[in-house]
A = this chain, B = another copy of it.
């Protein structure tokens, strides 16, 4: 038996896939909501039962991809200094965005003040990422790499802020993808970590 919930979930998935395919093919702006609805096999109005507005589709799409990147990043986390672990994680996110920078730009634009239903998912994801990073900080403290009196969550926030700034600089075409990761983000994080060494 196919439950209501399952049907809804199926439609949500179809809309997500249709949106992602079209955004990739034609970009965010040029894609119309009616095209997406048609491709997903639903009526034009139905789309708005699954996303509050067009922008909310971006959260639907990126939530899935970014969750995967978090999982993958944590799974393949290297041993070694905190700086390298952070870069490893963030590099994974950059790869997600690099699949479609145009669409990523639209997504990042919507991040400040995001409050649609799907945006909530992304916010929760960010929170959980911060918690994980905070955990990495604590591990670095445990192995004596980092001063024990650094508030882990605060450092996690700062690291995230620097990551977000580098991301914005890249998407704003102020640097290349590689440049954003390597000179920019690496040196930013290094400067933040400088002087926080253990003992």
Instruction: Give residues in A with beta carbon < 8 Å to B.
Output: 105, 108-114, 150-151, 154-155, 157-158, 160-162, 164-165, 168, 171-173, 187-188, 191-192, 194-197
Q: How far is the CB of A159 from chain B (nearest CB, A)?
A: 10
Q: Choose among B105, B108, B150 the residue that contacts A191 (Cβ–Cβ < 8 A).
A: B150
Given contacts A160-B165, A191-B192, 12 further A-B contacts (CB under 8 A): A109-B109, A109-B110, A111-B168, A112-B168, A157-B188, A158-B188, A161-B162, A161-B164, A164-B164, A191-B196, A195-B195, A195-B196
Cα–Cα, bound, A151→B160 (Å): 21
Which residues of B sit under 8 angstroms from A161, Cβ to Cβ? Answer: 161-162, 164-165, 188
Does B155 lie within 8 Å of A113, measured CB to CB?
no
Cα–Cα, bound, A154→B194 (Å): 13
